[in-house]
């Protein structure tokens, strides 16, 4: 991965590196003629119907978002990141062991500008589109998103990095994309050490409570289903530990995506909220 910004904090023994969206955009726009200003309740999801039920991600709570592969799990995460960081101005920490920070940010840039990163990088943008794209990139560059894309982390390292995100960067919420790869392989493996899974989830919930911020985990369903998923399709320990469980479903891969709120303190039984999935730009939006 490319060069990372290293910030030293006086008196701190553990200083970790995080890649920011501003860094990626600044490198992307070098020599292209674009300019990015270098100086320049709950956490609402940005989806009106979801927020009307949940009132956003709450302080100290652990939420799990699960889906089968290919449904748009990462697109939903990126849509949440855009809504929370760019539209609401919140500071977001992300652990992304499944993909590099640069790839994640490039995908977000392409989703919001509707242009390929390669096209932007080469300067092959029509003059009539440059102002609009520059405005979008400028807005994105102001987003406070810090990504750690380390593949395997011990419990202690993860805890320290979460504390740094909260105490040094002011993170309002933390996302984990790839729960399966978060911990060291010999300690936590979904296929070989299933008895360790509840312990890891308990540890993450404890961190959310300690830091008094929401933590949202993105994971796969326990089994592949062709029908609408339910709590029966998630790992059986999740409902007992997580405060909220969300399931993503798209019937026949249509442009309608159902966000099933399977568990939440505000509801007594599962309910479904429909969002529009725009496949061409890999994004979820309100209808």
Q: What is the pLDDT of residues 153-171, one digit of tens each?
A: 888 899 999 999 999 999 9
Nearest to 221 by CA among 230, 234, 232, 231: 234
Q: What is the pLDDT of residues 6-58, one digit of tens each?
A: 444 445 567 888 999 988 887 887 766 554 443 336 899 999 999 999 999 99
* 13 token code pair: 């023994």
State CA 30 to chain mean position distance. 27
Q: What is the C-alpha separation between 253 and 251, in angstroms, rounded?
A: 5
Radius of gyration of the chain (CA): 19
137's enclosing H/E stretch is helix 127-141
Name the residue with higher pLDDT: 185 or 69. Answer: 69
Q: What is the C-alpha separation between 26 and 14, in angstroms, rounded?
A: 27
pLDDT computed for residue 251 by the predictor: 82
pLDDT computed for residue 38 by the predictor: 38
Nearest to 111 by CA among 88, 80, 68: 80
Q: What is the pLDDT of residues 117-157, one digit of tens each?
A: 999 999 888 899 999 999 999 999 999 999 999 888 888 89
pTM of the model: 0.84
Q: Which domains does the chain have, with CATH numbers?
A: 41-100+145-285 (3.40.50.300)
CB 6 within 8 A of CB 17: yes
Burial class (CB in 10 A: 0-12, 13-18, 19+), 204: buried
CB 228 within 8 A of CB 67: no
CB 284 within 8 A of CB 246: no
pLDDT computed for residue 267 by the predictor: 93
Averaged pLDDT for residues 61-87: 94
Averaged pLDDT for residues 87-93: 94
Q: What is the C-alpha separation between 15 and 215, in angstroms, rounded?
A: 21
CB 248 within 8 A of CB 259: yes
Name the residue with higher pLDDT: 246 or 10. Answer: 246
Res 265 pLDDT > 70: yes
Q: What is the C-alpha separation between 239 and 264, in angstroms, rounded?
A: 10
Q: What is the C-alpha separation between 137 and 131, in angstroms, rounded?
A: 10
CB 130 within 8 A of CB 34: yes
49's enclosing H/E stretch is helix 48-54
CB 237 within 8 A of CB 263: no
Mean pLDDT of the chain: 86
Q: What is the pLDDT of residues 195-243, one digit of tens each?
A: 677 888 999 999 999 999 999 999 989 877 778 999 999 999 999 999 9
Burial class (CB in 10 A: 0-12, 13-18, 19+), 63: buried
Q: What is the C-alpha separation between 61 and 209, in angstroms, rounded?
A: 7
Residue 99's contacts (CB-CB under 8 Å, 6 or more residues apart) are 74, 149, 177, 178
Nearest to 57 by CA among 247, 212, 250: 212
């Amino acid at each position: 991965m490319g060069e990372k910004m290293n910030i030293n904090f006086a008196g701190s023994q553990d200083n970790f590196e995080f890649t920011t969206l501003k860094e990626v955009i600044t490198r992307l726009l070098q020599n292209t003629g674009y300019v990015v200003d270098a100086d320049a309740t709950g956490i609402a999801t940005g989806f009106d119907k979801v927020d009307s039920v949940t009132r956003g991600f709450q302080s100290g709570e652990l939420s799990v978002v699960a889906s089968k592969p290919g449904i748009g799990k990462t697109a939903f995460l990126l849509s949440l990141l855009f809504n929370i960081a760019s539209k609401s101005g919140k500071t977001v920490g992300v652990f992304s062991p499944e993909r590099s920070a640069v790839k994640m940010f490039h995908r977000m840039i392409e989703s919001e500008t509707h242009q390929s990163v390669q096209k932007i990088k080469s300067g092959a943008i029509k003059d009539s589109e440059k102002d609009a794209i520059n405005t979008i990139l400028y807005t994105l560059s102001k987003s406070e998103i810090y990504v750690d894309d380390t593949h395997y982390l011990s419990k202690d390292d993860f805890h320290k990095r979460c504390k740094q995100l909260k105490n040094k960067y002011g993170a309002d919420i933390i996302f984990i994309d790839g729960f399966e790869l978060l911990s060291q392989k010999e300690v936590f493996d979904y296929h070989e050490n299933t008895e360790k899974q509840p312990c890891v989830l308990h540890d993450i919930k404890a961190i959310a409570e300690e830091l008094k911020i929401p933590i949202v985990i993105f994971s796969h369903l326990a089994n592949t289903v062709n029908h609408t998923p339910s709590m029966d399709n998630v790992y059986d320990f999740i409902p007992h530990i997580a405060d909220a469980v969300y399931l993503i479903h798209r019937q026949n891969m249509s442009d309608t995506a159902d966000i099933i709120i399977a568990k939440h303190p505000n509801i007594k039984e599962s309910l479904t909220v429909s969002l529009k999935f725009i496949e061409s730009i890999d994004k979820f939006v309100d209808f």
